[in-house]
Chains A and B, each alone.
Chain A
Amino acid sequence: MHLTDAERAMRDGERGPAVARAMDLLIRYGEALGAERLIEVTNVAGTWSSTTPWVQAGLDRPDDFATIFSRFNLDSDETVEMPPAVVPTCQLIHGIDTRNWQLQGFTADQAALQRRSEAHFGRRGVQWMSTCTPYQVGNTPLKGEHCAWMESSAVVWINAVIGARSNVEGRESTGAAAITGRIPLFGLHIAENRRASHRVRVECPPETMMDWGLLGYAVGEMVMEEIPVLAGIAARPRPIFLKHFGAAAASSGGVEMYHIPGITAEAQSEAEALGGRAPAHDHVYSPAERRRAWENLQSASDDAVDFVMLGCPHNSAEQMIEIARLLDGRRISPNTRLWVHTPRQIRALCDDGGITAAIEAAGARVMSDSCPAINRALPPGTRVVATDSAKQAHYLPAIAGVQVWFGSLEHCIDAALTGRWRGGP
């Protein structure tokens, strides 16, 4: 792989041992990809989370952040301290809610360790946005900006909706990118790789949040890791619909980029989305495909719901207001728990605006920083879950061994209030 003089100097240790280890990893990674060279990135989103049992395994002291950083953010056997990040760098979703840790079953020591890790890496430039949706709390790269982001649902957002450029990176590559400002030139960093190869003719136009989740789940299975263009979307979606669509498509498949002519950043027309070529594959999304996606998302048979999970990807402020309105003056079932997840910055907004109080007055809890799929923290005894998230419905059975109902926000609120699942396609 070709390296610039500056990159060779980094590899050879001129900017210290951590940067040298980072370059070593980026070179191994770039060569694995078959990349010709590295590219400069100006925005990094990754994870420096230090509290999970696996990251903690084998440490002499739990706050040995240098060892954690070296092992898991650089894949380095040599222990090095993290130097300051050289580009804007943010922390994605992690394991412990620093306010609701007790409810999640964590100890005071674990919560304190989380806060210490935030201060440790925060001083080195990591912004603890602590959400899977940094784009909802001010981290919005520009069109064409090269980024190194983790979190499949966020990567597909910045690629498709904004037109920034990132592959789905991992913990180790974003750890290296933050202190070098480099990532291998591959995949979606290259303009010609951003065109659609699949066309999905949408004969069953999505209207609701649930519809967009179902469409995303079906499209992910159709195209896997390829790029689709959706034909036949007439009504402009709300931003939250695209958030749900992308997260679902990145769960059932590996969709990192898509086009909706007239709506997403790099497709004024279907022809532009396809780069002037005919689609290599044509698919149809009809009511039958919608129905199949709905059925594939259901893993529950018992209609007695123990736990309702909302906010995957993390809720926007408008979603929080909608939930507060649906819960207004009502009380959730004594047999059911309802957790509503939103970024800590939006939680602050909801705290000040009376939204948190309205939601919690109904017996629900407003949670941040994490989610049950990330930390496996569900209310004790949970067997049956209801969620409005296709992503959560996809992953929770494998991660937490629970049955999951997928449906609309209204279905989920009804389940929380009655303790029964009465949703349908």
Chain B
Amino acid sequence: MRSRIQSKLQSAELWQAFIIAVPYIWLLIFFLIPFFIVLKISFAEYILASPPFSKLFRLADTGAMYMTLIFDNFVYLWEDDLYLNTYLNSLQISITSTILCLLVGYPIAYGIARATPTAKKILLLMVILPFWTSFLLRVYAWIGLLADQGTINNFLIWIGIIDEPIKMLYTDFAVYVGIVYTYLPFMILPLFASIEKLDMTLHEAAADLGSRPFTTFRTITIPLTMPGIIAGSLLVFIPATGEFVIPDLLGGGNVLMIGKVLYSEFNSNQDWPIASAVAVVLLILLVVPMMIYQKYQAKESSGE
């Protein structure tokens, strides 16, 4: 009897282990191993061959194994202003876009969270609805809207506000519009989740204690919805930094972003080692702030 319960327990534990293992194995095979391959290539040297990089490990005649790490790629990234500027420009665009998404998304999320249950469902559906259309198609649609002969310029000329079309397409502005438009749902949804959990009597309590609406927002609402703010910001910031399609289609050749550099190094230049080094540095740029945040959060929840 006892052993039967034990074996049942064991099989339950096995199931649990299995269910947890599946996604981890998936991530291991399709994420971690490829990442190490990229890391490996970043320490290699560009050669005219297929594949176009030198081997990292080499077996000598004596049977010993040699590993050749070439740091040239990283040094090159540092020495060539193009890469540094592109990284900085990417970060600037992604940070600005994240802030813009937050400013636009917070009121929307707040409104949805405070709507009646029926309205809430419809509004949430409207936030998710754009995903039904292909992302690429939606970015192309923005070209039609923002072009010199596009809908917006034509309309403004027609009502007589302007005589000459405003240049919007192939500017930073177009890239911001594209990124904010595309990533807004990723900001709204986590914000909505944390605002909806907020107990409204806390606002009344704050008001009752003499706090004006804006102070209440600053001292009660924002701190209590911080998890949503951080989650939403990370969900926008991380993909926006490495974004390729939007700067390529809406920014043209005028907006330098690291995703585009990566693309051209890999495809046009066929310089896989440099492209890999660009990718590794990008990853470090994105992972470090996340790790700092996680450490801060762990400290917050365990201490005081």
Q: Is the pairing of A and B real?
A: no
Residues in B lying within 8 Å of A, measured CB to CB? none
